[in-house]
Structure 1
Amino acid sequence: MAADLPSIEKLLSENGLPTDGVAERLSTFFVADAGSVGGVIGMELSGAAAMLRSLVVLGERRKQGLGNALVDYALAQSRKERATATYLLTNTAADFAARWGFTQIPRGDIPADLLQRSALSYACPDTSTCMKLGL
């Protein structure tokens, strides 16, 4: 997976997503791979809460179900880690996240320890939509 780090960071950067904290938490990033990094999603844990982050699919691989598969896999991993809720911050994917039952919440409802552990606490603007899914 370490060999994928440059490709992951490039894909995130090219799509306007933060790369902060990716290298440090690389073991909790999941890659859709078909010979190269076709898509990625990250998951950060703190206690019984999980944060999904950095979902992106390579342009030519979009509309093939990779994004759905990555979200499904990350949510399954959240459940496996015994998370009782999964959160996300987004500027563009609120409608996409709603397909899984994520609902909008105030940013202050994200557990402070989860937000503080996450690079998203400073990498996402205050205007980001905050969402939660109970597991």
Structure 2
Amino acid sequence: MILAPDTSTTPHITIRQAKLSDLDTIHDLILAAGLSTERSAITATLEGCTYWMADLNGIPAGCIGLELGQGASLLRSASVLPASRRRGLGRALVMSALTYATLRGDKRLYLFSSGAGPFWEPFGFVPVSSAEVSAALPSAPQVLSGQSRGWIEREQAWKRVMGA
């Protein structure tokens, strides 16, 4: 269950790596942010992935994940509760994921997003085909889900060349 963070005081934001016990909260955040409409369709996992949580005043208010590949990763599930937006949580989560991808030596970072291009462009993401993502990360859970559910061809993909 997701509680609404207290936003009446100066916000205290903490970014931390997610633990297995956070997985249900990650799913709750994805649903609350409108990235999925059904829990059974959420493929977020901590197997082969790293997730970060953004806690606002001690309460989970956002998350982001990286599905890890060889030389490339897939950024996914960037979610911030609607009531907690415009406080820097999304940017802090993205910067955590970008730093981690850089440190692990990724050359490319991908994501799917049909509606949030203006958010991703300042981070250096440019549109690419979903086929490119599928070729770069064929066993990523989100790629496999998109292929099996038939949405991947309709989804806008984005790429950031690391170190550029």
Closer, same or farther: CA 26–85 of 1 in aligned 2, 3 Å? closer
C-alpha deviation, 1:23, in angstroms = 3.1
Runs of 5+ consecutive residues of structure 2 not aligned to the other structure:
1-18
The equivalent of 1:53 in structure 2 is 76
Q: TM-score, normalised by structure 2?
A: 0.74
The equivalent of 2:26 in structure 1 is 8
Q: Mapping of 1:79-118 within 5 angstroms?
A: 79-110=102-133, 112=135, 114-118=137-141
Larger radius of gyration: 2
Query: Larger RCO: Structure 1 or Structure 2 (Cα < 8 Å, ≥ 6 residues apart)?
Result: 1
> Percent same amino acid at aligned positions?
29
Q: TM-score, normalised by structure 1?
A: 0.88
The equivalent of 1:129 in structure 2 is 156
The equivalent of 2:54 in structure 1 is 32
The equivalent of 1:68 in structure 2 is 91
Distance 2:107 2:29 in 1: 30
RMSD (Å) for aligned C-alpha atoms: 2.0
Deviation above 6 Å: which 4+ runs of structure 1? none
C-alpha deviation, 1:103, in angstroms = 0.4
